[in-house]
Amino acid sequence: VSECNWPSRQAPGLHNLFAVCKNMHNWLKQNPKNVCVITCSDGRGPSGVLVCAMFCFCHLFSHPVPAMQLLSAKRPGSGLWPSHRRYIGYVCSMVSEKPNLPHSKPLVIKALTMSPVPCFNKQRSGCRPFCDVLIGETKIFTTAQEYERMREHRIQEGKVVFPLGVSVHGDVVFSVYHMRSTIGGRLQAKVSNTQIFQIQFHTGFIAPGTTMLKFN
């Protein structure tokens, strides 16, 4: 039994995902009667990523989309996100005929731009956003401040720019939240955060000299 302990709200770390695929492949090669059973706490994301990555590792597919389509056909409602697909694609490229292996150079993320401005406040006119930056599960930077100091952005502005200037390396997660204050006086009011979106990628697959990344 291999315990992966992957976070349920993220894609598995790339090196860990690749190592587990390699172990499974070695086990299956040892004996034609050997079988792998994959399970996870929610029965969706982490196990689905591993199954699809394994399809690619075994050269059943060379692209993540058909791997995910086979998973959906066998297990409807697989619950995979765009970041999950990105990581399955990384494994595909690492085992292709001309392997593309991740480099180890750190990157400086100067800023994150969100466009358009999403409606998360009660008036449905904008949001009060902040951005957390994580390496794996460790938060290394945030733009969050006290509620009174957080600026509300309106739809009319068209975009929100978060100045970051943070150096990152490896599995990076950008998580943007709307900060909301519940009704009550300053002493009684509680602040709650609602996630707007989350993006995850590995810096090793970003070509040196890249000045902008765009996620739709």
Active site residues: 40
Radius of gyration of the chain (CA): 20
| Residue 166 identity (one-letter amino acid) | V
d(CA 210, CA 69): 31
Q: Positive or negative CA dihedral for 67, 47, 173, 23?
A: negative
Angle at 42 between CA 216 and CA 193, to 5 degrees: 55
Q: Are 102 and 14 in contact (CB under 8 A)?
A: yes
What the block records as the tokens of 16 is: 């860990």
Helix (H) or strand (E) holding 215: none
- Output the six-digit token pair for 160: 């929100």
Encoded tokens for 127: 């949001």
